Amino acid sequence: MITGQDEAEAARQLREKIAAQFGRSLHIRTLDTGSCAVCEQEIRLLSAPHYDLHRLGFFFTPAPRHADLLLVTGPMVRAFEVAARKAYEAMPGPKMVVATGACALGGVYRPDPFVHGQVGAVLPVDVWIPGCPPSPLALLHGLSVAVGRLAEKTPGLTLIADGQSPGDGT
């Protein structure tokens, strides 16, 4: 009989084995579901020398069949729904979906006959990266959160300012 503790230990060993065998590399397929292409521009900058995401073991792949992670931008136009589902289904498991940018999170378009308004309406999203567009740094942080290398900061964030600021007029 497996107790909860044994199970946790087995899960930890399996996780370490997977991490060792895959060398912590991760292949990313980007999916543009009707974005204005500024998110794509920021994603493209990730492979430029300044950010160089390959040093972290992340790689872009042109085929969803080779991808571990689907990086989805745009408000999910309805015309793209079938293609998005096919791309997701073509990916081998385990797989992740990362919704990228304010459009993908429902911040720009409302649901109407042409767009779903957010990626979550069609695909099961694992990580949300806000930003319009999210900067390459925000994307690097989001990808690191997705693979569990960095802790997410959002739950501890209040967005309540305290103290004096230069804009204090009253």
Partner 1 sequence: MPLWFARGLRRGVVTTRYPARPDASAASLPTPPSFRPEKLTRDLVDLMIAVCPGPALRRADDALIFDVGTCTACGRCARAAPYAATPSGEFELAATNRAALVKTIPILGEQR
Does the protein bind partner 1 through residue 154 (CB under 8 A)? yes
- How does DSSP classify residue 21? H
Q: Which is nearer to partner 1, 31 or 42 (CB)?
A: 42
Helix (H, G, I), strand (E, B) or coil at 81: helix
Cα 67 versus chain centre, distance: 13
Of 61, 107, 111, 121, the one binding partner 1 (CB under 8 A) is 107
Helix (H, G, I), strand (E, B) or coil at 71: strand
Interface with partner 1: number of residues (CB under 8 A): 46
Does the protein bind partner 1 through residue 36 (CB under 8 A)? no
Does the protein bind partner 1 through residue 57 (CB under 8 A)? no
Cβ at position 1, least distance to partner 1 in Å: 32
Rounded to whole angstroms, how far apart are CA atoms 36 and 116? 16
Does the protein bind partner 1 through residue 1 (CB under 8 A)? no
Binding window for partner 1 (CB under 8 A); candidates: 13-21, 58-66, 74-82, 160-168: 160-168
Residues numbered 122 to 151 that lie near partner 1 (CB under 8 A) are 125-132, 134-135, 137-138, 140-142, 144-146, 150
Identify the CA nearest to 98 among candidates 54, 44, 43, 49: 43
Cβ contacts of residue 22 below 8 Å, gap of 6+? none
Identify the CA nearest to 73 among candidates 95, 44, 105: 105
Identify the CA nearest to 136 among candidates 63, 35, 50: 50
Of 50, 62, 89, 94, the one binding partner 1 (CB under 8 A) is 50
Q: Characterize 125-163 residue by residue with b for buried, 16 or more Cβ atoms within 10 angstroms of its Cβ, and e for exposed.
A: bebbbebebbebebbbbbbebbbeeeeeeeeeeeeeeee
Does the protein bind partner 1 through residue 23 (CB under 8 A)? no
Does the protein bind partner 1 through residue 155 (CB under 8 A)? yes
Note the residues at the interface with partner 1 (CB under 8 A). 49-52, 55, 102, 105-108, 110, 120, 125-132, 134-135, 137-138, 140-142, 144-146, 150, 152-155, 157-162, 165, 167-170
